Structure 1
Amino acid sequence: MPETPRLELAGIGCRFGAVRALDDVSLAVAPGEIVGLLGDSGCGKSTLLRIVAGLEAPDRGVLCLDGRPVGASVPPEARGIGMMFQDYALFPHLTVAENVRFGLSGRPRREAEAIAEGRLAQVGLGPRAGRYPDTLSGGEAQRVALARALAPRPRLLLLDEPFSNLDRRTRDRVRADTLAVLRESGATALLVTHDPEEALEVCDRIALMRAGRIVQTGTGEDLYRRPETPFAARFLGHLVELTGPARAGVLDTPFGPFAVPGFSEGAPVRAAFRPEALSLAADGVPARVLRRSYLGAWLRLDLVVEGIPAPLRLPVPPDAPYGPGSTLGLSLDREAVFIFVDRGD
């Protein structure tokens, strides 16, 4: 028998005046799963998170927790949901331990203290228990907020851009630590982010959003390797795009013809691929090096190919002997090419 989803959304819609923030959003999150809501600012992901939390009411649709419908009349504190805000929202007048115990006010003091101590140890901040938030680094404050959100053992944890206030080096470390804690605790989580790399690293599945709708849901590999639209392909990474009309079932490109079965004669076609689909080949398509960028473990060559308007990016080993003006040959892995109807978007 299929497992009951921890969270299930069906046909969720929400308007703010004339603005349609969410339009027919459906999503299921299994127990112990980490699902990311990925998209640009204004796409509706934070509104959806607030509806799940009970901070906003949908105009239509059904929200279920553990198989039971939850209406707008159920307040946030009665939903068994934990939430981490972007700014962490720690209470400045409370110590670290008191912040973590805040959501445990209904429990006996010794029990609450033991739970807070355990959660702080889990995030590596046991020695900071007596400090105040203004003495913590950004990474430490984030971990305190995580410990506080997990302390009551919520059925679902909501994270709204939890790493966006951290610098790159701290963000990478704290993100890895947070994922380890979520896995160890078995938490079910819904993560809002605009960062594809973050979604790929942290989430079991990703729901990619655009203009209030979920346009594709799947694992990170699904979205990266099997995007269903040009928008999805672009959002998950750099993309080279070639357009033209279908002629006798093929699209002619500088890399040769591509079969486009199912396209009528003259129909607009868009072929796309990622930089890693390119490789060096002595007898390949001629390319001229426009720019060489040293990026530590590898080099990026920006290449000009006749018939392709924008430079191509090619990652190569750091000792590759190519510089501006050099010529080389390129081969394209044809199995890594996406074919879409060209709608001009």
Structure 2
Amino acid sequence: MSTPNAPTPNAPAPPAPAIAAPADADAPARLALSGIGCRFGPVRALDRVCLTAWPGEILGLLGDSGCGKSTLLRIVAGLERPDRGEIRFDGRRIDPETPPEARGVGLMFQDYALFPHLSVAENVRFGLNRLPRREAEGIAAARLAQVGLGHRAASYPGTLSGGEGQRVALARALAPGPRILLLDEPFSNLDRRTRDRVRADTLAVVRAAGTTTLLVTHDPEEALAFCDRIALMRDGRVVQAGTGADLYERPVSRFAARFFGDLVEMPGRCRGGRVDTPFGPLPAPGLPEAAPARVCLRPEAIRLGPAGAGLTGRVLGRRFLGAEARLAIAVEGLAEPLVLAVPAEDARRAGDAVGLCRKDAGTFIFADEPD
């Protein structure tokens, strides 16, 4: 992981704390993970993971496939055993041997795992078999109404659309009133238009229920839209944890910065506390003298203007994308063309000269270490 530096060249600031306590700081965390480790043979799936989720919070576990996020979710659920570490629910330590049904968790899988031979209502009642039948039926009906599927109670899973199946799975996970709801890539099987709608509906239901939720996802946009805080994971470790704004605006490494969007990257070397770039020298406090550095700019940190304003570039090509267009711009001193989004009505074309100015917000400098 790269050594973190100032989030902007002119305004050094430390990363935000990984865990923000609620207003009632004396209240125990709904979920507290301390030093969780897990290996599968020679593979280290998790390495000393520490995380906290507060009552009613939606905490995202974000990362690429194989980073350990689903393994961590399964450990919380009781489907996998950690090799080390401690789990606490509401301040009470959970024995690793405690089965899933005794943990007070609701689990929703990627494939929904609905029972095809049971009706929708029977699927939702499945985890309520210890309750009197009438009480279980009332709870199931209320949960189905909450997700807008009361009219499909007698239907069977094979007749449902993908979005409807997802909502039935959510109703079933919430029916027992879990202390913690665990969502493992719940929207990945849906097409984009359906996913956006179902995701918004799910967020509304989870917020209304007030259930502490862990969401596993590989999609940074989904994490930003859905979660109160995000834990970005890599190789079994938490790279950075905080709000979406923390991770996007104050990444602690090049990996974290890249995960949330495109970057314009410029290699350099720290001399006299500064790094030379085509945009001029930028301050790099915290980097040792002569250390290799990597200057990273989000595309929105570069403002497009008329030729002669700031750094000069030349438009290489233009790609129409509906409401916006993408310009590829050659800049002296940069190995790759800049790609910037502009409104579709922007009149610039291939061959035009443009001016480029840099904003501090969205500019990051890191030690240039291997990815």
Task: Give the TM-score normalised by the residue count of structure 1.
Answer: 0.98
The 3-state SS of whatever aligns with 1:223 is helix
Q: State the Cα distance separating 1:244 from its structure 2 match.
A: 0.9
Structure 2 counterpart of 1:297: 323
1:75-154 matched pairs, under 5 angstroms: 75-154=99-178
User: Residues of 1 paired with 2:26 and 2:52: CA distance?
Assistant: 12
User: Residues of 2 paired with 1:310 and 1:86: CA distance?
Assistant: 38
- The percentage of counterpart residues that share the same residue type is 66
Q: Is residue 242 of structure 2 the alignment partner of residue 257 of structure 1?
A: no
Structure 2 counterpart of 1:342: 368
Tell me the C-alpha RMSD between the 2 structures. 1.0
Structure 1 counterpart of 2:354: 328
Q: Which amino acid letter does the alignment assign opposite residue 286 of structure 1?
A: T
Question: Greater relative contact order: 1 or 2 (C-alpha under 8 angstroms, separation 6 or more)?
Answer: 2
The 3-state SS of whatever aligns with 2:314 is strand
Q: Is residue 187 of structure 2 the alignment partner of residue 166 of structure 1?
A: no
Q: Which amino acid letter does the alignment assign opposite residue 8 of structure 1?
A: A
Structure 2 counterpart of 1:307: 333
User: Residues of 2 paired with 1:89 and 1:152: CA distance?
Assistant: 17
User: Residues of 2 paired with 1:293 and 1:214: CA distance?
Assistant: 37
1:209-228 matched pairs, under 5 angstroms: 209-228=233-252
User: Residues of 2 paired with 1:323 and 1:97: CA distance?
Assistant: 59
Any unmatched runs of 5+ in structure 1?
none
Q: Which amino acid letter does the alignment assign opposite residue 268 of structure 1?
A: P
Structure 2 counterpart of 1:197: 221
Structure 2 counterpart of 1:286: 312
The 3-state SS of whatever aligns with 1:308 is coil
Q: Is residue 58 of structure 2 the alignment partner of residue 34 of structure 1?
A: yes
Q: Which amino acid letter does the alignment assign opposite residue 339 of structure 2?
A: R
The 3-state SS of whatever aligns with 2:319 is strand
User: Residues of 2 paired with 1:249 and 1:191: CA distance?
Assistant: 41
Farther-moved stretch of structure 1 (265-274 vs 44-53): 265-274
User: Residues of 1 paired with 2:134 and 2:260: CA distance?
Assistant: 47
Q: State the Cα distance separating 1:325 from its structure 2 match.
A: 2.2
User: Residues of 2 paired with 1:140 and 1:331: CA distance?
Assistant: 48
The 3-state SS of whatever aligns with 2:114 is coil
Instruction: Give the total of aligned pairs.
Output: 345
Q: State the Cα distance separating 1:203 from its structure 2 match.
A: 0.3
- Asked if the contact 2:300/2:362 (under 8 Å) is kept, the reply is no
- 1:246-301 Cα offsets, whole Å, 9 max, x none, are 12221111111101133333111111111111112231211122232222222221
The 3-state SS of whatever aligns with 1:216 is strand
Q: Is residue 221 of structure 2 the alignment partner of residue 208 of structure 1?
A: no
User: Residues of 2 paired with 1:79 and 1:62: CA distance?
Assistant: 14
Structure 2 counterpart of 1:239: 263
User: Residues of 2 paired with 1:205 and 1:334: CA distance?
Assistant: 25
The 3-state SS of whatever aligns with 1:266 is coil
Farther-moved stretch of structure 1 (78-87 vs 327-336): 327-336
- 1:212-246 Cα offsets, whole Å, 9 max, x none, are 00010000010000000000000111111111111
Q: Is residue 314 of structure 2 the alignment partner of residue 317 of structure 1?
A: no
Task: Give the TM-score normalised by the residue count of structure 2.
Answer: 0.91
User: Residues of 1 paired with 2:35 and 2:370: CA distance?
Assistant: 29
